[in-house]
Amino acid sequence: MTSVGRGQVGDVIGELDQHQGRLGPPPDDATAGNPREQLRLRRGYLENNRQRMHYDEYRRQGLPTTSAWIESAVKEMNCRVKGTVMFRNNPDGTEPILHIRAAALSDDDRLPRFLARRSGRAILRRPAPANQAA
């Protein structure tokens, strides 16, 4: 685990400062690929975000310290909604499909609750036309 992961952001910034001192500051015309500019940018990021980088405390509280779970869920939803054989001829139908897919992927009773509350008849998704007898 890195020093940042252990909540020692200040130590990492100090090490970057020492390394920057050995390399020297980036020239005024430094490109983004310049190692000295890269070092300056990374140090700036840590300094600007250090008040949020309490990863050791987050882990003690059982909180996630990565966005991997959310990214995985987004990827799963995109795969299921934007699959190669899925077509959306009616754009108004996409939002309800997303709600159903999200409910189906949930680890709780969200899907049965959603289906119980949906509008329309119990076996059809759309209400019967007004001119048709029920």
> What percent of the chain is modeled with pLDDT above 90?
27
Is the CB of residue 46 less than 8 Å from the CB of residue 12? yes
State whether 78 and 100 are in the same domain: yes
Q: 3-class secondary structure for 100-116?
A: HHHHHHCCCCHHHHHHH
- Which residue range forms the structural domain that includes residue 41? 9-60
Place of tokens 């059809």: 124
Q: How many domains in the chain?
A: 2
- Mind listing the pLDDT tens digit for each residue in 56-95? 888 889 888 888 888 888 887 777 667 666 665 666 667 7
Q: Which stretch of DSSP H or E encloses residue 58?
A: helix 55-60
Give the dihedral sign, CA 64/80/111/120. positive
Q: Please report whether residue 133 resides in a domain.
A: no
Q: Please report whether residue 94 resides in a domain.
A: yes
pTM across the whole model: 0.49
State whether 51 and 82 are in the same domain: no
pLDDT at 20 over 80: yes
What confidence tier does 35 reach under pLDDT thresholds 50, 70, 90? very high
State whether 80 and 102 are in the same domain: yes
pLDDT at 48 over 90: yes
Which pair of tokens denotes residue 35?
A: 């190692």
What is the SS3 assignment for 44? helix
> What percent of the chain is modeled with pLDDT above 70?
72
Is the CB of residue 64 less than 8 Å from the CB of residue 57? no
State whether 49 and 77 are in the same domain: no
Of 101 and 44, the one with more pLDDT: 44
